[in-house]
Structure 1
């Protein structure tokens, strides 16, 4: 550029020197206003698009606390339930028998301990015999409490209001303690979330607090605003 600019300047000077009589006067022209702006570099993140599943942030898996045979299932997939509603029960035959036996053993141990206490006062029973009766009483009490616990938790009640999204077992099946029988979602509008799966190269672009736009087939072109609340 510098060489080309200099060459043009020299050609004009030579022409002006050789032909003085044909010099054309140069007139000033109006200045053109130019607005300048400072150039900055900004990064614009490309939008991440993916399909997801609408679910509840408060999903509960309900199970019995004890092992037994499922006697009755009162609700099915898709049903709405209210908090505290009875959903399922185990067969009570064996559980009730165990409770009655534990109660009888506890009452017997209590009577024996009282008798040993009286004998110990009269020096008719040794200290060891009295302590053994106390130990037997404590053991019987614990077994009785366990039997009552089993009786109480041989039922499933809804821990929250919502909808049954999955029924895992059927009536007549044997279930163990902790095995999921129902899965329910909370029904509150503030409990709904959308879960999506993304490859590593996509999710690393996101952070909590990022905004999102949601569309669904059910609502056509209507758009909903959302916020990234969990990554992991």
Structure 2
């Protein structure tokens, strides 16, 4: 009796096990089919514009100083202050200068008297011609010395050579300065058209731009505004500190007056264009920086393809490499796909 029960139980267990195995084995044909939309990739020729950034400066940056040394009597502008051409900016104390002028004037008067006396004595045959000529030479030297002192006296005052503003005030009233010592650092802004954006380019970019080429500049200090510009100067030597080639863009500022040192970005328009593959943004998967993947349809299957991104523009992506013009890519349900997925195209 017990033996019969044991055999029956084993039979039941074996039957259940077989049914479970049959239940687990699912034929491939019944796998889920994923509906997708596809699109053919396009191409577009884009101008390969150059993007660069730099700082605002002006066309002429100048140091104003006195030709002669002395005590600063007054500096009449402050840092950041604008001035006009011909405006008096600073002066030296003129006590010593006036003394020098008076001394040179007295010296000229003495030599004039000596020359008149020598001329009269020559007429009376008391002086020789050589003595008269020597006296005349002394008078000429004294007059030239007076001219030199008067010339130096004129440069005891600093006048603005052009419209501009003070970027740095180096010396103040009462300080003793030597000849040529900096007193004011200024930036010229004649007609508000002397503002520049100085940017650094690679050697390839530097070689591809030329003087007069147009650009568009945006400044952090003026959000939402853009300024027309053109390439004004190209440095003929690399900046060893920055490791780049400097290019200066002249800005059309209209009524705006930016601060020197303000950060700006430039897009330089070039004549060179390049063909790019163009795909929709929603076709990308696993995007990271300029690297991403897309699914390419081949023989009703999908294949994961790595691509390199050149740039983004709204909902479009310009691909540098990884795709060809005849490729068809998946643009919907990409997140549910892998290379073993069965797809149904529902375009």
Alignment TM-score > 0.5, same fold: yes
Equivalence for 2:203: 200
Shift in CA distance, 199/176, structure 1 to aligned 2, threshold 3 Å:
farther
Any conservation in 2 of the 1:163–1:187 contact (CA below 8 Å)? no
1:103 match: 105
Match of 2:89 in 1: 87
Check conservation: 1:213, 1:223, Cα contact below 8 A: yes
Q: Does 1:49 align with 2:51?
A: yes
Q: CA-atom RMSD, angstroms?
A: 2.2
How far residue 199 of structure 1 moved from its aligned partner, in angstroms, is 4.0
Out of 60, 69, 94, the position equivalent to 2:71 is 69
CA contact (8 A) 1:55 1:185 kept: no
Contact kept? 1:165, 1:185, Cα under 8 Å: no
Q: Which residue of 2 aligns with 1:219?
A: 222
Higher strand share: 2
Size of the alignment, in residue pairs?
A: 191
Task: State the shift of 1:44 in Å.
Answer: 6.4
Unaligned runs of 5+ in 2: 1-44, 236-347
- Does 1:185 find its partner at 2:192? no
The corresponding residue for 2:262 is none
Q: Distance in 1 between matches of 2:101 and 2:229?
A: 52
Q: Which has the higher contact order (CA 8 A, sep 6+)?
A: 1
Note the C-alpha offset of 1:187.
4.6
**Deviation at residue 75 of structure 1 after TM alignment:** 0.8
**Quick one: distance in 1 between partners of 2:70 and 2:200?**
38
The separation in 1 between residues aligned to 2:135 and 2:163, in whole angstroms, is 48
* 1:170-218 deviations in Å (ceiling 9; x for gaps): 3333333333322232252322222223343432332212221111122
Match of 1:140 in 2: 142
Gaps of 5+ in 1: 1-42
Cα–Cα, structure 1 residues 114 and 159, in superposed 2: closer, same or farther, change >3 Å? same
For the pair 1:157 / 2:150, whether they are aligned, the reply is: no
- Tell me which residue corresponds to 2:5: none
* Alignment match of 2:119 (pick from 112, 117, 120): 117
Matching of residue 228 in structure 1 with residue 231 in structure 2: yes
Which structure's residues are more often helix, by fraction? 1
SS in structure 2 of the partner of residue 123 of structure 1: coil
Give the structure 2 partner of residue 172 of structure 1.
Answer: 174
User: Partners of 1:48 and 1:172 in 2: how far apart?
Assistant: 51
Contact 1:59 1:186 in 2 (8 A): no
Matched, 1:210 2:213: yes
Instruction: Decide whether the 8 Å contact of 1:166 with 1:184 is kept in 2.
Output: no
- TM-superposed CA distance for 1:45, in Å, is 6.3
Q: For 1:49 and 1:169, how far apart are their aligned partners in 2?
A: 40
